[in-house]
Amino acid sequence: IMFTKILTAVDGSEISERAVEKAADLAKQNGAELHLIYVIETGFISPGPGDTVRDLVHKRFEDEGKEILDKLTSKVKEAGISVESHLEVGHAGNTIIKKAEDLACDLIIVGSLGKSKLDRLLLGSVSSHVVNYAKTNILVIRN
């Protein structure tokens, strides 16, 4: 199978960095476009009294996401691969699937574990959500 557009979900974990390395290899072999997506999971930011707390939390996630995406995109660019990054807000699983559809990606790559116990739960559920609902090819990177 040849791939033309690959979407890889990143979250700052080691496994998601490995997913990006794998994605970069595949992009290079296929001459494919690589897209990286970081999703700020809205479930973490519940509206409550005093929106300032929510705004601060959101800002922290946003900064973290930008930093992770910047670091990974420059790494991929150095390898001479065309790459674009996307910082999105929403339900991680659905957002990844929608972005893949919008970009007409023919492969989604996700890591199967996140960076903490909570993330492990989250990323585990994100990758299984993507596997269950996406209409495109999926590659799950395991530890």
Give the global pTM.
0.88
pLDDT per residue over 111-137, tens digit each? Answer: 875 555 555 555 567 888 898 899 999
**pLDDT on residue 46:** 62
Residues 6+ apart with CB under 8 A from 94: 129, 133
**pLDDT on residue 48:** 61
Spatial separation of the C-alpha atoms in residues 101 and 106, rounded to whole Å: 9
* Contact predicate 109/139, CB 8 Å: yes
Of 2-6, 15-19, 56-60, 99-103, where does mean pLDDT reach its minimum? 56-60
**Interhelix angle 14-30/51-78, nearest 10 degrees:** 40
**pLDDT on residue 89:** 92
If we measure between CA atoms, which residue out of 93, 80, 99 comes closest to residue 29? 80
pLDDT per residue over 20-72, tens digit each? Answer: 999 999 999 999 999 999 999 876 666 666 668 778 888 888 999 999 999 99
